[in-house]
Amino acid sequence: MALDPIEKKPLMRFHPESVILSVGSYGCNLRCPFCQNSDISMADDHCLSDELTPASLVSQAVALASRGNIGLAYTYNEPLVGYEFVLDCAKRIHGAGLLNVLVTNGYICPQPLGALLPYIDAMNIDLKGFTEPYYHWLGGDLETVKETIRLAAKACHVEITTLIVPGKNDLPETMEAEAAWLAGISREIPLHITRFFPRYQLTQQPPTPIATIQQLQKIAAAHLRYVFTGNC
């Protein structure tokens, strides 16, 4: 748990220069071999934790409003593995007049997503790649995430993050297809293109070259108004 800058989510076009109480737990519903925070996403039940009820967490968020807190961000691990907890908190946060931010891989079915979206003010969704074989490598499927993006973009502020893994999802034509598809929803959707660093099961894989990130940014910028690069 931390009071983070909103830009750390990352959200660059949603209440810039504000701070938000950010909370996470353990677990994920994908199995990315390159996971950048596998110590929590792939953790077992022997990890240390603090138990919080939705009421106690929301009380902390409200108390921090005096320090500029705008709400609650569900982040760090995949928050949707604790869907019911997020939904309960989100309802309470709105009742307190604060905002909800969801940082997610977007791997959720439309029906539960539809029940949650009325309480979500902004989302950063990981669009991890733009081919089905790539998503199969991660234990998911692309169409589910694309549908999440379509639905979310109609309901709240949405920004997208794509982590570029060398030799896996770094082809120019793949970014061309991804950016064009996002632009078909809205050219105003911000896209964050970020670098891979050796982690988890890909510790021998070198970091993404900065030149690759810059090339992909130029390709995406031909379709989208806002394209940001991270860790460069």
Indicate which CATH number applies to the domain containing 194: 3.20.20.70
Of residues 38 and 176, more confidence is placed in 176
Q: What is the spatial distance between Cα 102 and Cα 49, in angstroms, rounded to a whole number?
A: 21
What's the token pair of residue 15?
């209440």
Mean pLDDT, residues 58-70: 97
* pLDDT value at 107 more than 80: yes
Domain range for 167 is 2-230
According to DSSP, the β-strands at 227-230 and 19-23 are unpaired
Q: Domain count of the chain?
A: 1
End-to-end Cα, the chain, rounded Å? 26
Mean pLDDT, residues 58-65: 98
Whether 163 and 34 have beta carbons less than 8 Å apart is answered as yes
* pLDDT value at 77 more than 70: yes
Nearest to 90 by CA among 63, 57, 50: 57
Q: What is the pLDDT of residue 176?
A: 98
| pTM of the entire predicted model | 0.96
∠ Cα 92 117 174 (to 5°): 135
